[in-house]
Chain A
Amino acid sequence: MSCQALSSLSANGRWGGAMTQRTLPPADEEIAAMPDEQRTVLARLWWSQAATERRVAQSFAVVERALSTLEADAGIVATAGRAIDDEHRHAALCQAMASRYLGAEAAPAPELPFSHPRHPAARSEDVRAALYVVGQCVFNETFASAYLAACLDAATHPLARAALRELLSDEIDHARVGWAFLATMPGALRADITDWLLPLGIANLREWRALTLPAPGADLERHGVPARGRIEEALVSALRGVVVPGVAHAGLRSAPFAQWAENGART
């Protein structure tokens, strides 16, 4: 993997080229007083997230193309297009947070290799394109929203809360791309997508569970790093309380999917 400077932000982006809607609050004195080990762990986490956020910009390039191919509603396509810039802003924000905790300008986060599900079993290109939208937006961004909401719930430090709030507000729009698409999806795709709900759920939840975080102490929670148990609870709760009823609301009924979620969502 390589390390490269982060992309510049588009003036056509959500905040006219600014990294955040609001200026991050100053908290440098308090951070400087934290134990070095704690600051280092937090700097590493934000720096890592800078890398993963930038990678997801590529995911949204795929999603935008898929939505265009499917001739989705213009508002949905536009939001997906803007999400590419959103993710670059997130990367810049996370990089800035790493530097704040490090107490010095952090080196640019590495550029991670990108790949995404290809769904070779999809019955047609349209089904595959729809699966891209559902997998990335309905599943991944809903889980991301739940994860960030859990981080925000845990955080009490003003800097962490400000940064997490900026990220969460965008992720909500990104998940909405998927939910709006499901609500307007052509009828011809519904049977296939319904049939894919369970494998999509397993594959995407597995990704979120695969990632590890340090065993948090109370001080890390204050900075938005909740205990693993709270993250798991947030993910499963979102699966059961958002995704399962959400797909039913869109008219997609899959008893195995609902049963899997209810029975522990084994991955």
Chain B
Amino acid sequence: MNHRLFHTLVLGSSVLLGGSGGVACMARVAEAAPATSPPDEAVSVDPPSDSPPPSTANSIDASAPRDAAKDVVTVDARACEAGWPTTKGMVCTSDGGPELCCHRQDEAPVCCPRPAPEGSP
């Protein structure tokens, strides 16, 4: 797999197992964007023998037409839930120009006060 984060995140996740909380710092790995990628053979797509195919009531047949995802976007209530809150800073555009925004999951974005210096009016 050629994406630089595949190796770092997926294959590199094994460092967490059995230990007390991972490695100290992976900045160099991410910063350097590994020049070499693991061979494709390292990324198996074969499921383990104990991995049954999806078959729950909400499941979508893997052999379904190619627009099955479209149906999920529009009719599957599970896809209509909000996702997990993100850590991205935001600026919304309002009538008064760009404003800092805080995303509230069940509502439209809410604009926050400006980061005025502490103690200022």
Contacts and interface: CB of A to CB of B under 8 A. Distances in A.
Interface of A: 1, 3, 14, 21, 40-41, 43-49, 51-53, 55-56, 59, 73-76, 78-79, 81-82, 87, 90, 94, 98, 102, 104-110, 112-119, 121, 123, 135-136, 139-140, 142-147, 149, 152, 165-166, 168-169, 171-173, 175-180, 183-184, 187, 190-192, 194-196, 198-200, 202-208, 210-214, 237-238, 240-242, 245-246, 248-257, 259-260, 263, 266-267
Interface string B22-54: 111111011101000000000111111011111
Contacts of B4: 149
A180 B23 CA distance: 13
Contact of A260 (B10, B51, B72): B72
Interface of B: 1-6, 8-27, 29-31, 33, 43-48, 50-56, 58-60, 62-64, 66, 68-70, 72-73, 76-93, 98, 100-106, 109-110, 112-118, 120
Nearest to A250: B10
B51 to A, nearest CB: 4
B104 to A, nearest CB: 6
User: Chain A interface secondary structure, helix, strand, loop or mixed?
Assistant: helix
A52 B100 CA distance: 12
A198 B79 contact: yes
Given A52-B85, A149-B4, 14 more contacts: A47-B115, A76-B16, A81-B21, A82-B22, A112-B102, A149-B33, A172-B29, A190-B50, A192-B54, A202-B72, A203-B78, A207-B85, A248-B45, A259-B66
